[in-house]
Amino acid sequence: MQNENRSRIRFNPAGLVAHIIIDPPPPGGEIVIDGQVVDMSYSGIKIRLREPLGQSIEEAELRISIILPESGVPVSIHGTIKHIQQEHECGLQYDADRHQEHELDDLMFECVKFAPHADAENADEI
């Protein structure tokens, strides 16, 4: 079993869709890859993609576009690919230099409400 070395707790906002956009767009136009959020935290997000990422994208800066589930407000987060698993899942690390803390607070506050909880007692802890 793999040890958990993360410093930030991760949660899964059920049903949250994300779009990965290459930023800036490569020659030939913008590339958008749709996916489903597997889990997220204050430092990164794991997305299950509908199609695999190309090798040239691995080094690119990305923008993750999410529509907040309750308010419907669109949010864009800049980041880079941290790892790719099975070609259809990727972990992205947020670019902390491009975001103010309150921007991630707003995203986390709304998304954590949509995370399923093991039981009602644990819901109060999040």
Total residue count of the chain as it appears in this document: 126
The predicted pLDDT at position 49 comes to 92
- For residue 125, being part of any structural domain is answered with no
DSSP 11: B
- For residue 29, being part of any structural domain is answered with yes
pLDDT above 90: percentage of residues in the chain: 16
For residue 40, the number of C-alpha atoms closer than 13 Å in the C-beta half-sphere is 29
Token pair for 37: 């959020």
Domain count, the chain: 1
Max avg pLDDT among 34-48, 73-87, 95-109, 110-124: 34-48
- For residue 96, being part of any structural domain is answered with yes
What pTM, to 2 d.p., does this model score? 0.76
Give bridge partners of residue 74 from the DSSP assignment: 67
- For residue 119, being part of any structural domain is answered with no
The predicted pLDDT at position 68 comes to 83
Q: What is the CATH number of the domain that holds 57?
A: 2.40.10.220
pLDDT in tens, 63-104: 899 988 788 888 888 998 888 887 788 899 988 888 777 777
